[in-house]
């Protein structure tokens, strides 16, 4: 290796460190809220239960068995749910009686693919938002839950997938050049995902909630413009941990698996035991965490 290449490599390392310092560390400082001021814990998991690429999703009983194997959390955020009937069935099978289902706005009436929140804690109300810039009519569902006396909004999203992910193939072939272009666009450019999150943040600001859990399939990577728009008010539950760098999408034909599934909490909430669960019902790994609720005095 000549000096020019060595200097270039050092420059890349320095750039990577700077990215972590500028973007990562501010998230990390706010995350270790695990002291005496946090009195109660509520377990939450987000999971895309479908297999849009392979086209061979589990049936509802298999999905329920998979979630039991992962450990049924107090609150479940599910994506690629096949209709309100499946959401209701999973709610009964998993003994999570509070549930809300939101179909994609443009989904076929027979399939009604969508997102759902299942809760074993009291549900106080809910609201929905359809993103104006979503190609498939995706949206967000927000459920207000009584978590040990504290009202917490739990929000589930499934943002638009990227163009090179197409249904019907067992794997998603991606060249190095295509991945470089994708990463560059996600880091610096606008997309349907970044615009949807901007719309989501404005929607949540109108609610002005003090306590929010936000999760789902974001179809983007850490440090992307989409994720950075959340950083002033939300913390990634996986930071700081090695699982922050673990991939959650399992069907990409590329050496590095991206993490596109996220759980975030607002600054007033803490968390512990956050991790990526290394098993999949289709083409995603779930993300789980225990959300810590502030004490009541």
pLDDT at 165: 58
DSSP letters of 105-168? Answer: TTS-TTT-EEEEEEESS-EEEEEEEE-TT-TT--EEEEEEEEETTEEEEEEEEEPPPPTT--TT
CB within 8 Å of 72: residues ≥ 6 apart: 94, 95, 96, 120
Q: What pLDDT does 217 receive?
A: 98
Phi-psi region of 208 (alpha: psi -120 to 50; beta: other; left: phi over 0): left
In DSSP terms, 288 is beta-bridged to: 45, 275
Task: Tell me which H or E stretch contains 98.
Answer: strand 98-103
Domains annotated on the chain, with CATH:
31-294 (3.60.10.10)
pLDDT in tens, the chain (297 residues): 443 434 444 444 433 433 332 333 444 334 445 545 567 899 999 999 998 666 678 999 999 999 999 999 999 999 999 999 999 999 999 999 999 999 998 766 556 899 999 999 999 999 999 999 998 899 999 999 999 999 999 999 999 987 555 555 666 667 788 888 888 989 999 999 999 999 999 999 988 778 999 999 999 999 999 999 998 899 999 999 999 999 999 888 787 889 999 999 999 999 999 999 999 998 999 999 999 998 754
Q: What is the pLDDT of residue 12?
A: 46
pTM equals 0.86
């Amino acid at each position: 290796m000549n000096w020019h290449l060595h200097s270039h490599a050092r420059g890349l390392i320095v750039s990577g460190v700077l990215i972590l310092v500028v973007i990562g560390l501010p998230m990390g400082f706010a995350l270790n809220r695990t002291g005496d001021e946090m009195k109660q814990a509520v377990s939450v998991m987000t999971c895309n239960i479908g297999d849009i690429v392979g086209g061979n999703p589990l049936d509802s009983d298999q999905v329920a068995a998979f979630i039991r194997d992962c450990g049924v959390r107090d609150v479940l955020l599910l994506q690629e749910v096949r209709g309100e009937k499946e959401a209701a069935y999973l709610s009964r099978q998993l003994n999570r009686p509070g549930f809300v289902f939101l179909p994609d706005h443009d989904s076929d009436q027979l399939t009604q693919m969508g997102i759902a929140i299942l809760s074993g804690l009291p549900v106080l109300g809910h609201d929905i938002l359809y993103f104006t810039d979503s190609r498939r009519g995706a949206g967000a569902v927000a459920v207000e839950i009584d978590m040990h006396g504290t009202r917490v909004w739990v929000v589930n999203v499934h943002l638009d997938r990227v163009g090179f992910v197409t249904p019907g193939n067992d794997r998603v072939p991606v060249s190095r050049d295509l991945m470089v272009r994708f990463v560059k666009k996600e880091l610096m450019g606008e997309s349907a995902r970044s615009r949807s999150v901007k719309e989501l943040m404005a929607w949540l600001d109108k609610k002005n909630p003090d306590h929010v859990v936000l999760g789902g399939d974001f179809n983007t990577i850490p440090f992307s413009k989409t994720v950075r728009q959340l950083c002033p008010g939300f913390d990634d539950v996986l930071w700081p941990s090695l699982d922050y760098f673990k991939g959650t999408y399992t069907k990409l034909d590329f050496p590095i698996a991206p993490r596109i599934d996220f759980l975030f909490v607002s600054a007033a909430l803490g968390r512990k035991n956050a991790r990526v669960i290394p098993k999949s019902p289709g083409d995603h790994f779930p993300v789980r965490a225990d959300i810590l609720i502030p004490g009541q005095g």
